[in-house]
Amino acid sequence: MVSTAEGVAMNLHPIALIAVLAACGAATTNEPPSIARTTFAVGVDPSSHGHLVPEPVATFADDQVLGLVATINTEAIDLASIAMRHATDERLMSLATLLAADHTEARDREARLSERLAMPLAPTKRMQAMRQEATTEVAHLETLTGTAFDVTDLEHAASAERDALSMLDLQLIPSARIPEILAHLADLRERADRNLRDVEDLQLSFAEANASARR
């Protein structure tokens, strides 16, 4: 018989699949889910434009995983919300509306999971760093207008989805042990992949329009 977490793993990206199967094997231990198994690690990739990049060595307890994905979704909601207020391009406004709804739904699901599992979202140093980074990004966006705002907001949105995919694959899916949380992470990965493609498609459209205007 195929377990819940293994069934989820069948539909995952290859990197995420390996992580989920590893989590399934680890789930037979008696370690309490609320205890983090290793130390935290946060790195900065020179090619990430200053964004915090997760290192594979960092793992988290399940309550910390829930807290981190809630933070990921909150950051995406904040970026979408400011775009809905200040974007000048209708396509960006439409995309921002979809992203806000998608990430709000995911965050609400995390709140329900937390309640059903009697597992409050646990804070981490990584979560604090992510919140600080998001605050800085929003403050910068508030200073921009017109096309500069539209282009920069899209850049931040793309980086947020890429960071989410990286963190899910390298840290969160390998860390999680509870099947319901693993299933939620699998869904989040699909959403992040889809959202990133949508953002990059709009970025390409902006670039093509800019190139045409220069001819």
Query: Pick the residue with more confidence: 148 or 53?
Result: 148
Residue 211 binned pLDDT confidence (cut-offs 50, 70, 90): confident
Cα–Cα dist 119/123, whole Å: 12
Cα–Cα dist 44/33, whole Å: 28
- CATH number for the domain running over 4-21+60-214: 1.20.1260.10
Cα–Cα dist 79/118, whole Å: 30
For residue 1, give the amino acid letter: M
For residue 29, give the amino acid letter: T
CB 179 within 8 A of CB 4: yes
Given a cut of 60, is residue 94 above it in pLDDT?
A: yes
The stretch 190-214 carries a mean pLDDT of: 92
Given a cut of 50, is residue 110 above it in pLDDT?
A: yes
Q: What is the value of pTM for the model shown? A: 0.73
Q: What is the average pLDDT value for the chain, to the nearest integer? A: 82
The whole-number pLDDT of residue 56 equals 54
Given a cut of 80, is residue 27 above it in pLDDT?
A: no
The whole-number pLDDT of residue 201 equals 97
The whole-number pLDDT of residue 55 equals 55
For residue 106, give the amino acid letter: A
**Residue 107 exposed, middle or buried by CB count within 10 Å (0-12, 13-18, 19+):** middle
Measured in degrees and rounded to the nearest 5, phi and psi for residue 23 equal -65, -35
Provide the percentage of residues in the chain whose pLDDT is more than 70. 73
Q: Which of 50-59, 150-159, 203-212 has the lowest mean pLDDT?
A: 50-59
Closest to 80 (Cα-Cα) out of 62, 96, 102, 101: 96
Cα–Cα dist 42/56, whole Å: 10
